[in-house]
């Protein structure tokens, strides 16, 4: 996650007090409805170009979030907090101004990334990342520890860990069964992205791991992605 998007997301996060950040992470729907935001679960969310996740935010006349319902899942929590980010963007003149300085398409993409970063910061708080890392650089086991210690999904935790890589690199969730990348989050300074479903050479180190449950995580520091 770029430092720029993460910094704008932090401006949204500080609009909430500690108790509010904890409450929205613990029970997003309850929190949002308590703040006058209408929340509408849908069993079949129509595809939308408005949002990069499983929900959509309508600012008015009554703020309304519609989302694909997967009750109790970390994915659903991420979607709701992401949509809450859109709500907060419209109440923060500095963030709005930064996004309006970009052209329409770039501004829309940037807002999506800011809302993703905001959801990550809320669901995987800084203090939990700090506790898990204990002053060390990220290693693969930290990813599972972070999932256990937070409300974030595996991917959200990978994004937060990648922010702490000491060099250009990636936190990768590999799928050795299909010999491909499940998800890869670059460090803030990494110049290249590693796309989902990127096929890996048969002897790639990520393919010869013996994960206990089909998915394995490995931290890859330095080097250009996708070259086996
Ligand atoms: Zn969005």
More confident residue, 179 or 131: 131
In contact, 140 and 216? CB cutoff 8 Å: yes
3-state secondary structure of 20: helix
CA of 161 to the centre of ligand 1 (A): 22
Domain boundaries, the chain: 3-123, 139-221
Confidence at residue 192, expressed as pLDDT on a 0 to 100 scale: 81
Instruction: Dump pLDDT digits (tens) for 17-33.
Output: 999 999 999 999 999 99
Q: How confident is the model at residue 171 (pLDDT cuts 50, 70, 90)?
A: very high
Non-local CB neighbours of 226 within 8 Å, separated by 6+ positions: 192, 194, 198
CA of 115 to the centre of ligand 1 (A): 6
CA of 142 to the centre of ligand 1 (A): 28
Tokens coding 23: 């409450």
CATH topology of domain 3-123: Arc Repressor Mutant, subunit A (1.10.10)
> How much is the pTM?
0.83
Instruction: Dump pLDDT digits (tens) for 28-82.
Output: 999 999 999 999 988 766 665 556 678 889 888 889 998 888 887 899 899 999 9
């Amino acid at each position: 996650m770029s430092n720029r998007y993460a910094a704008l997301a932090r401006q949204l996060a500080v609009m909430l007090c500690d108790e509010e950040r904890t409450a929205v992470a613990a029970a997003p729907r309850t929190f949002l409805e308590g703040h006058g935001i209408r929340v509408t679960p849908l069993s079949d969310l129509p595809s939308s170009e408005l949002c990069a996740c499983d929900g959509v935010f309508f600012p008015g006349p009554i703020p309304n979030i519609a989302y694909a319902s997967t009750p109790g899942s970390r994915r659903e929590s991420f979607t709701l907090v992401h949509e809450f980010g859109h709500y907060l963007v419209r109440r923060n003149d500095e963030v709005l101004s930064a996004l309006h300085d970009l052209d329409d398409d770039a501004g829309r993409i940037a807002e999506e990334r800011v809302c993703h970063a905001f959801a990550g910061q809320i669901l995987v708080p800084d203090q939990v990342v700090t506790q898990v890392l204990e002053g060390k650089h990220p290693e693969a086991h930290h990813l599972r520890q972070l999932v256990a210690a937070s409300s974030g999904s595996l991917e959200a935790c990978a994004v937060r860990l990648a922010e702490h890589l000491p060099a250009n690199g990636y936190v990768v969730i590999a799928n050795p069964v299909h010999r491909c990348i499940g998800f890869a989050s670059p460090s803030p300074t990494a110049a290249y992205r590693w796309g989902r479903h990127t096929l890996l050479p048969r002897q790639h180190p990520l393919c010869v791991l013996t994960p206990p449950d089909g998915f394995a995580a490995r931290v890859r520091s330095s080097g250009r992605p996708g070259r086996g």
